[in-house]
Structure 1
Amino acid sequence: MTHVMACIDNSQSSLAVCDYAAWASQRLSAPLTLLHVLDKEKYPASADLSGNIGLGSREYLLEELATLDAQRAKLALEQGQHMLEKARERTVISGAVASDLKQRHGHLVESLSDLQEDIRLLVIGRVGEDSTHNAHTLGRQIEAVVRTIHRPILITSRKFKQPERVMLAFDGSPTAHRTVQMLASSPLCEGLPIHIVMVGIDSQDNQNELEKARSILISSGLKVQAEIRSGEVESVLHAYQAEHAIDLLVMGAYGHSRIRQFLVGSTTTTMLRTVTLPVLLLR
């Protein structure tokens, strides 16, 4: 569990992924690995076309189609390798040490699952090359990645902006307190002001939970501002982000309050579709 691993593809988001991965690699003093996965559904490693041609087919047609399919997969692999090389150049320019390159043929989630023992932080774009350019599009594989990969995940925005202010969405749950501990012990946000935002009733119990979180972060040397606000979680977090020019949202990947509904069930969708800043999911 030592590497920052960045998933790249042929989407515009990959530029931001490279930049955020280089930033994280430097902050964590961790080696950077760039990963490209060639989707085997689009580019099968071998083709069985026996059922794809109707009556009256000829053997040479099957062979020719198989040859064309193999050539297409080979070109896609070469293109992926070229993307990896260009991505490495970009991360080096951004200040990271020379990156390790990995290329897999298969499914993204399965590949990440196989590699996750080496992952300290996963960096992935919120949209991929198969997604539309709609502002609220969420990549089709993000939910599966979040559910499957039990590592911190940084889901990037479309463009890179070096984080200067961090907002932690806090609900007082055991998961939220573990998130606070992880944030306090990590150099990723060292030196950056942390805004803890709790959405709920301004009760004594909530104040006590918020103060516990604040004390932990302060004891680790972080500058902390903590606040309880009432309202709907999504709208409150968006409003606070705008008011304080927040650059990075931190949330626990799983919790037991209203925040949880944005990250599981119907999925990571509601918050991730509507935020314009990167989201760091911790568990």
Structure 2
Amino acid sequence: MSYVLCCVDGKNYSQSACDYAVMISNNMNLPLKFLNIIEHSSKVEKLNLSGNIKLGEKDDLLQEYTNEEATKSQCAIKTGKELLNTLKQKALQTCKNEITILQVHGDVIETILDFEKEISVLVIGIKSHEEHIIGENVKDIIRAIHKPVLLVNSEFIEPKKLLIAYNGSNESKKLLNETSKKPIFKNIKRDIVNINADKILSAKLLNEAKEIFAKQNIEVDTSVLSGEPKEAIYNYFEQNNCDILAMGAFGHSRLKEFIFGSFTSEMLRKIKKPILLFR
């Protein structure tokens, strides 16, 4: 059975992610699952086997490290369970559907991919303001999963306007089809923009996008933008008081991203409100 999956770690807007996940669960009439993943730490903070080590000291250091890791793991398990129970109680106040909680030990990417077939929408809290670096885990999740992903990077507000950046790519077309057929957001104004030096092609793409929503009896406003894409979309988003940005994600190879920079990564750094992505 499909459900809305909300991944939480207690650090990155988990409370806000909970609120958005509840809203989406209610809109789509789907169960809601909260997931906390306990990763095994690979960092060695106190262990140092360099230099002169006397007989038996190595075993002592290894035992110290093992004990330290066990303490960290127990603490993470306890904190994670408390977080899950807190969010469940919070969600029960407004969620109209079944709520479950789950704590898993393992790799973040692999764990989420294990649930991919059951996920309808994935909600994740992140830090994405300009002074922060987007974690590779987040980027890898977006690249790996082929479901809508809502990245929550601010306090919850009831969204009134959704801005969709549409360029005709497979990713953006899938996003339009998904968001038009399934009511991720209800009672929300939708603006669709396209940036292209060829105005005729831009108008064609916007009409294509408009028709996708028209099939579901959803009205949208469309606009052709000019200039550098990242700046044009950011300026439109800010000037028109948009609440959520939706777009296709990571359409280029990792090599091209390394050479030219990733449009997705740039938008994650600039936009200080939730972003809905589809790979």
Partner of residue 230, structure 1: 226
The alpha carbon displacement at 1:93 in A equals 2.5
- For residues 261 and 196 of structure 1, the distance between their equivalents in structure 2, rounded to whole angstroms, comes to 25
TM-score, normalised to structure 2's length?
0.85
SS of equivalent to 1:196:
strand
Identical positions, percent: 28
Q: CA deviation at 1:12?
A: 4.7
Q: Does 1:212 align with 2:211?
A: no
State the partner residue of 2:199.
203
Shift of 1:63: 4.4
Aligned to 2:148: 152
Offset, 1:182: 1.9
Q: SS of the counterpart of 2:123?
A: strand
C-alpha spacing 1:173/1:63, structure 2 compared with 1 (3 Å) = closer
Deviation at 1:137, TM superposition (A): 3.5
1:45-80 Cα distance to aligned partner (Å, 9 max, x none): xxxx99799432255665465344323322321221
Q: Contact (CA 8 Å) 1:201, 1:228: kept in 2 or not?
A: no
Pairwise CA distance, 1:3: 1.2
Which amino acid in the other structure matches residue 211 of structure 1? N
Go from structure 1 to structure 2 and tell me whether the alpha carbon gap of 1:261 and 1:226 turns closer, same or farther (over 3 Å shift): farther
* Aligned residue in 2 for 1:57: 56
Q: Distance in 1 between matches of 2:119 and 2:198?
A: 38
Aligned residues: 271
Q: Which moved more, 1:96-105 or 1:78-87?
A: 96-105
Number of the residue aligned with 2:100 = 100
- Report how far residue 33 of structure 1 moved: 0.7
CA shift for structure 1 position 201: 2.5
Q: Bigger shift: 57-66 or 104-113?
A: 57-66
* Residues in 2 aligned to 1:281 and 1:88: alpha-carbon distance in whole angstroms: 25
CA deviation map 1:96-120 (0-9, x unaligned): 5452111111221111112212111
Does structure 2 conserve the Cα–Cα contact (< 8 Å) formed by 1:143 and 1:268? no
With over 3 angstroms needed to count, the CA separation of the structure-2 counterparts of 1:203 and 1:76, relative to structure 1, is closer
Q: Deviations over 1:2-40 (max 9, x none)?
A: 111111112151111111111111111111111111121
| Correspondent of 1:251 among 225, 239, 247 | 247
Deviation at 1:91, TM superposition (A): 1.6
Contact 2:33 2:100 in 1 (8 A): yes
- CA RMSD, 1 decimal: 2.9
Decide whether the 8 Å contact of 2:12 with 2:125 is kept in 1: no
Identify if the C-alpha distance between structure 1 residues 4 and 242 changes in structure 2 by more than 3 Å, giving closer, same or farther: same
| Residues 173 and 76 of structure 1: CA distance in aligned 2, closer, same or farther (over 3 Å) | closer
Q: Residue 41 of structure 2 corresponds to which residue in structure 1?
A: 41
Residues 277/120 of structure 1: CA separation in 2 closer, same or farther (3 Å cut): same
Return 214-223 or 234-243, whichever deviates more: 214-223
Partner of 2:275: 279
Contact 2:166 2:247 in 1 (8 A): yes
Alpha-carbon distance between aligned partners in 2 of 1:54 and 1:150, rounded to the nearest angstrom: 50
SS of 2:158's equivalent?
coil
AA of the residue aligned to 1:103: Q
CA distance in 1, matches of 2:143, 2:79: 29
Whether the 8 Å contact between 1:199 and 1:228 is mirrored in structure 2 is yes
Contact 1:180 1:213 (8 Å CA) reproduced: yes
Matched AA of 2:164 = L
2-side partners of 1:276 and 1:237: how far apart?
A: 13
How far does residue 245 in structure 1 lie from its aligned partner after superposition? 1.0
Aligned partner of residue 30 in structure 2, secondary structure: coil
Among residues 188, 194, 214, which one is paired with 2:184 in the alignment?
188
The residue aligned with 2:158 is 162
Question: C-alpha offsets along residues 225-279 of structure 1, whole Å, 9 cap, x if unaligned?
Answer: 00101111111111111222111111012547xxx969x9647321101101111
- Residue 282 (structure 1) shift: 1.9
